[in-house]
Structure 1
């Protein structure tokens, strides 16, 4: 049959009701975050990555005009 066991047990101290509620919310959020990560994120190719098309910061100095046209 089913037992009525507490999910949390206070070992030391006397926490207030709001402290226990906050602890329960944090533990529940951590448990649900672990379940939602069952599928790993797919990595984008460099061709589809929009960050690659952004201009890099300019580097002043000799030959900088030539290096500005080179791919990075």
Structure 2
């Protein structure tokens, strides 16, 4: 593919992602090159997404063990279960 071959519909001001500067590639060779570059970018994106830590569950957090003090009085046995 030479530099003079331009895509039929190119967005104004858009830069090409891949450009062959030297050589004359067949369509099959160009397709193989694009497949390799796309696979490498997908692998890098997948590796970057796996490095993010998952949000930690609050189920076993020590703050859940702390309770409010029991209050004495009429009807407080009902509110003790909600608390």
TM bracket, shorter-chain basis: 0.3 to 0.5
TM-score by length of 2: 0.41
TM-score by length of 1: 0.47
